[in-house]
Amino acid sequence: EHIANQIAAGEVVERPASVVKELVENAIDAGSTKIDVSVEEGGLDSIRVTDNGAGIDPEDCETAFYRHATSKIAEGRDLFQITSLGFRGEALPSIAAVSKVRLVTSNAQDGRGRKIEIEGGHLRVNEETAAPRGTDFLVKELFYNTPARLKYMKTIQTELGHISDYMYRLALSRPDIAFTLRHNGNSLLQTLGNGDALQVIAAVYGTQSAKAMLLFEAENMDYTLSGYISRPDYTRANRNGMSLIVNGRYIRNYGLMQAILRGYHTLLPINRFPLVVIQLSMHPSLIDVNVHPSKLEVRFSKEQELFAFVEEEVRKVLQQEIL
């Protein structure tokens, strides 16, 4: 049992950023409106995720760490049709197998909660404690008992980079949730969770960048588009400032990115790039299903129509500015 958990852990928990991702996705699943992430030394020393979500029933706290205790779907379906992000029931057991975990959670308003401590998969503490409603996960000394995995970790800066990239993407895709990210006590991200995408852009890219953004919105039979793109006089030297969000999820899609750039480059020099955050909504059936759930890549069923639509809207908003 114990060994099996450690092996399985390697699949789910590749690096500190995977722990952050799993814990934050759980917090979102629990309906949290505020999620605070605090890491030390690139997450290798500690990762703490605190949320104000539904909390875990005291009766369920221990079983949440057993494998497959909570699997929500049996086989792959269209993940965009599943509102909850978690579906494997493997994250907590995997994390707990390769670290020292402390969970404090309450699903009540009376200040009573539960504390669990697990070390390398072994339960050490399971007791009542005082806790506000919500969940507070502390993961210390990741991979302390799997030296082979620990050896693969890159520098603190690299591991932190993976964590902050993930948090920035998530914040951009969920302006309705208030996120903070701290590293060794320093604030790297703070969003308000008031639904204002421009506030998140300011938090991620800085207020100057946010001030340079143009809003554009459009819809047709299939797609609703809402985006921010930087003014023609505010350009970037690379394409790293392009975020695509589809049905509330941050995605990667080469064709969609090219469509934006085609619209952009009909008016602007080909060696300049926009800062752009595009939100698209569409029926889930317009997104192809056979793409791996944990990957960011998606495909679109009617991609030519979609790309033409986006290209045209990008061109239109810039044209209005240049005229």
* Residue among 86 and 241 whose Cβ is closer to Mg ion: 86
Nearest residue to ligand ADP by CB is 86
* Residue among 91 and 189 whose Cβ is closer to ligand ADP: 91
The site partner of 10 among Mg ion, ligand ADP, none (C-beta below 5 to 8 Å per kind) is: none
The site partner of 56 among ligand ADP, Mg ion, none (C-beta below 5 to 8 Å per kind) is: ligand ADP
The site partner of 135 among Mg ion, ligand ADP, none (C-beta below 5 to 8 Å per kind) is: ligand ADP
User: Which string of x and - marks every residue 24-63 that binds Mg ion (by CB under 5 A)?
Assistant: --x-------------------------------------
* Residue among 4 and 215 whose Cβ is closer to ligand ADP: 4
Radius of gyration of the chain (CA): 21
Residues forming the site for ligand ADP (CB under 6 A):
22, 26-27, 30, 51, 53-56, 64, 70, 72, 86-92, 135
9 near Mg ion, rule: CB under 5 A? no
* Residue among 26 and 180 whose Cβ is closer to Mg ion: 26
* Residue among 56 and 118 whose Cβ is closer to ligand ADP: 56
135 near Mg ion, rule: CB under 5 A? no
CB of 137 to ligand ADP, least distance (A): 7
Q: How many chain residues interact with Mg ion (CB under 5 A)?
A: 3
CB of 139 to ligand ADP, least distance (A): 12
* Residue among 91 and 256 whose Cβ is closer to Mg ion: 91
HEC-encoded secondary structure of the chain: CHHHHHHHHHHHCCCHHHHHHHHHHHHHHCCCCEEEEEEEHHHCCEEEEEECCCCCCHHHCCHHHCCCCCCCCCCCCCHHHCCCCCCCCCHHHHHHHCCEEEEEEECCCCCEEEEEEEECCEEEEEEEEECCCEEEEEEECCCCCCHHHHHCCCCHHHHHHHHHHHHHHHHHHCCCCEEEEEECCEEEEECCCCCCHHHHHHHHHCHHHHHCEEEEEEECCCEEEEEEEECCCCCECCCCCEEEEECCEEEECHHHHHHHHHHHHCCCCCCCECCEEEEEEECHHHECCCCCCCCCECCECCHHHHHHHHHHHHHHHHHHHHC
The site partner of 89 among Mg ion, ligand ADP, none (C-beta below 5 to 8 Å per kind) is: ligand ADP
